[in-house]
Structure 1
Amino acid sequence: MPTVALHHETVRLKTPLVTAFGDVRERDLLLFELTGADGVTGRGECAPLTAYDGVPLEVAVEALAVYASILQGFDDDTPGMRMLDACRDAADIPVALAAVDLALWDRAGRRAGRSVASLITDDALDAVPVNATIGAHDRAGAATAAAAARDAGYGCIKLKVGVGDDAGRVAAVRAAAGPEMLLRLDANGAWDVEQAVATIDALSPAGLELVEEPVHGVEGLRAVRERVAVRIAMDETAEDIGALIAGGADAVCLKISRCGGISGLLAQAALVQQGGAEVYLASTFDGPLGIAAAVHVAAALRVQAACGLATLEHLDLDVPPELAVRAGSIRVPTGGGLLGEL
């Protein structure tokens, strides 16, 4: 009979991140540990961000308590998907289900002495390209951050927009980063269709890789996409599975927490690819286990676009060396489970 432990940690951001959906100053990380009768422990993580995913911390904690009681009724030989489905039937809270899913994958990898990426496919990438993220700095601050990203070897910068002085900050980032840097904008649904079209047209001379979630909703995204030359990516709207194949975007940003873990993200990635759109991954400023899970999945899917996974450096915690960003990429942890611990 498995045993379950839950630990709560609040981690502050070194500098608040200002976005169109609100300021992010700290992150609540719920560590979920599942230990089998064989003594092997799998670890998962729940990182609710209420302003983004609408799930309050107390709701996530309550769901994890329900899951713990359910999981303790199974044995070590129960298939992981059966255990996950039982938890989902009791409380369908994706950000909380992600903790269970990650723990099951981590435990499976540790038992097999293999990385999670290698459990998914035999042809995973060795490293995943990642982007630097710049929040709502003023022009000088944005330029400084862009120059630092350039010097650190990043090939792509994501700049939060829809928060004021977009034109000035985009120009400052482009000037500091240089002409070769890919520049991605993320509006977090700040605009309506007309605002999005006008703003994207005005900013496009800076050379944009894509604009992520300029508006919310698949119809709005489709309307913007039809009227601008820049590629449009879907993020928050991707919560609606039907929207994934509705032709509303050129690319879709998927996140471990919103997909309910690795298993859910793999399923949604298949839908995205079925619709002909590109897949890339990002975090909601998750902790180390959430980032590790996303790195394994991105590697298994052989994602070529830069992923928004270089976010641990924004948190006031020690970054595991396995997840350090080097020359704009994160190497896939080897060994057993999510972080290569045998």
Structure 2
Amino acid sequence: MLCNWQSATLSRYTQALHTPLQFGPLQITHRHGLYLELHFTDGRVGRGEIAPLPGFSDETLEQAEQQIRDYLQGHAQRKLYPSVAFGMDCAMAGFPPNSPIVSGYPLLNGDFAHCQQILSLHNTKLAKLKVARQSPKQDVALINQLLEHDPELRLRLDANRGWIWNQAIYVLENIDLSRIDYIEEPLMNSQQCALLAQRTGAGIGLDETLQDSSYRYHYFEGLRCLVIKPSLLGPWRVCANLVEQAHADQVSCVLSSAYESEFGLQWINTMAKQYTPDQAPGLDTLKAFSEQAANIEELETFQHKL
């Protein structure tokens, strides 16, 4: 795989967030990751981003950094961590086209006023709403308020496995499901998603489920979408295979970010144009950063013995 690169440079980046991100018990105030730059014997240059997401990635940034160092020094690896495999595939592909990063729909969270403020900035009738961060009763009230305020608005809900069965049933039975494209990962016990779809008629989206190393794609009635985060799944071929299998069952796929820096988002945007050209990617995460660009520290340059 690496036979035609001549040298590699590894850098570490840090980028501050507007407000801390809460991932379960973890709270992060800065995003940290690595940039890998490869120089090839034919003069090409490739660059990738390696950025495990705390609370979601199995590997830590320290583990990813050690693995990519070992790999670049020629030490064989049984299997690359997903973040390392994604970054390496990107670097091997070259540089992504320098095109604007435009998310197909905004990401909503907070109260009604805050959601409306975000919607007012986007000329869209589709939005993704984070739920299961307050009581089910409050979620129902917010969803209905948003739908009543704009009769043309459609929502994609994302619960991040935040509900138990009875909570999910309560919410889904008290909102207009005809205007909900799907609900991502509604249940703490994701194995009950097919039953939930059967019971309520709600469309289901899978996200965290895909990141389980034991996951193998299988269709069930009500499965509407796979939300694919390339940097959490690893090699490009894994993403491509999932898209191919899902599309065969008329299940849509959305390539989505995991709070990468702008450079990482450029790659996901490029992948979306290649694998899911008819489905806008979910890239509305740059607004989470208080700094426009990441602060970069060069770590080491590696020479490849050709």
TM-score, normalised via structure 2 length: 0.81
Q: Which residue of 1 aligns with 2:199?
A: 227
Query: Is the alpha carbon distance of 1:168 and 1:70 closer, same or farther for their aligned partners in structure 2, counting shifts above 3 Å?
Result: farther
The CA deviation at 1:171 is: 3.4
The CA deviation at 1:32 is: 0.9
Matched residue SS, 1:194: helix
Q: CA deviation digits over 1:195-222, x for unaligned, max 9?
A: 2222222233683121111125652211
Query: Is the alpha carbon distance of 1:227 and 1:22 closer, same or farther for their aligned partners in structure 2, counting shifts above 3 Å?
Result: farther
Q: Which moved more, 1:222-231 or 1:301-310?
A: 301-310
Query: Is the alpha carbon distance of 1:205 and 1:212 closer, same or farther for their aligned partners in structure 2, counting shifts above 3 Å?
Result: closer
Question: What are the residue-to-residue correspondences of 1:1-342 with 2, within 5 Å?
Answer: 2-18=6-22, 23-70=27-74, 89-106=77-94, 130-135=104-109, 137-148=110-121, 152-164=122-134, 165-175=138-148, 178-204=150-176, 207-216=179-188, 219-240=191-212, 242-247=215-220, 249-318=223-292
Query: Is the alpha carbon distance of 1:205 and 1:251 closer, same or farther for their aligned partners in structure 2, counting shifts above 3 Å?
Result: closer
Query: Is the alpha carbon distance of 1:222 and 1:48 closer, same or farther for their aligned partners in structure 2, counting shifts above 3 Å?
Result: same
Q: Which residue of 1 aligns with 2:304?
A: none
The CA deviation at 1:98 is: 0.8
Query: Is the alpha carbon distance of 1:269 and 1:51 closer, same or farther for their aligned partners in structure 2, counting shifts above 3 Å?
Result: same
Alignment partners' CA distance in 1, 2:236 and 2:118: 31
The CA deviation at 1:303 is: 4.0
Q: Which moved more, 1:8-17 or 1:45-54?
A: 8-17
The CA deviation at 1:47 is: 1.6
Question: How many residues are aligned here?
Answer: 285
Alignment partners' CA distance in 2, 1:154 and 1:20: 30
Tell me if the contact between 1:161 and 1:186 (Cα under 8 Å) persists in the aligned partners: yes
Alignment partners' CA distance in 1, 2:89 and 2:118: 35
The CA deviation at 1:23 is: 4.6
Matched residue SS, 1:180: coil
Tell me if the contact between 2:101 and 2:266 (Cα under 8 Å) persists in the aligned partners: no
Tell me if the contact between 1:20 and 1:161 (Cα under 8 Å) persists in the aligned partners: no
Q: Letter of the aligned partner of 1:157 in structure 2?
A: A
Matched residue SS, 2:94: helix
Tell me if the contact between 1:116 and 1:296 (Cα under 8 Å) persists in the aligned partners: no
Query: Is the alpha carbon distance of 1:180 and 1:239 closer, same or farther for their aligned partners in structure 2, counting shifts above 3 Å?
Result: same
Q: CA deviation digits over 1:164-198, x for unaligned, max 9?
A: 0322332343355x222221110011112332222
Point out where structure 2 has 5 or more consecutive residues left out of the alignment: 295-306
Matched residue SS, 1:97: helix
Tell me if the contact between 2:98 and 2:266 (Cα under 8 Å) persists in the aligned partners: no
Tell me if the contact between 1:35 and 1:41 (Cα under 8 Å) persists in the aligned partners: yes
Q: Letter of the aligned partner of 2:105 in structure 1?
A: N
Point out where structure 1 has 5 or more consecutive residues left out of the alignment: 72-85, 110-114, 118-125, 321-342
Identity of aligned residues (%): 24
Query: Is the alpha carbon distance of 1:257 and 1:302 closer, same or farther for their aligned partners in structure 2, counting shifts above 3 Å?
Result: closer
Alignment partners' CA distance in 1, 2:182 and 2:153: 13
Query: Is the alpha carbon distance of 1:314 and 1:210 closer, same or farther for their aligned partners in structure 2, counting shifts above 3 Å?
Result: same
What root-mean-square deviation, in Å, do the aligned CA atoms of Structure 1 and Structure 2 show? 3.0
The CA deviation at 1:230 is: 2.3
TM-score, normalised via structure 1 length: 0.73
Q: Which residue of 1 aligns with 2:299?
A: none
Query: Is the alpha carbon distance of 1:184 and 1:197 closer, same or farther for their aligned partners in structure 2, counting shifts above 3 Å?
Result: same
Tell me if the contact between 2:272 and 2:280 (Cα under 8 Å) persists in the aligned partners: no
The CA deviation at 1:285 is: 1.2
Matched residue SS, 2:46: strand
Structure (1/2) with the larger strand percentage = 2
Tell me if the contact between 1:19 and 1:188 (Cα under 8 Å) persists in the aligned partners: no
Q: Letter of the aligned partner of 2:91 in structure 1?
A: A
Tell me if the contact between 1:218 and 1:246 (Cα under 8 Å) persists in the aligned partners: no
Q: Which moved more, 1:181-190 or 1:244-253?
A: 244-253
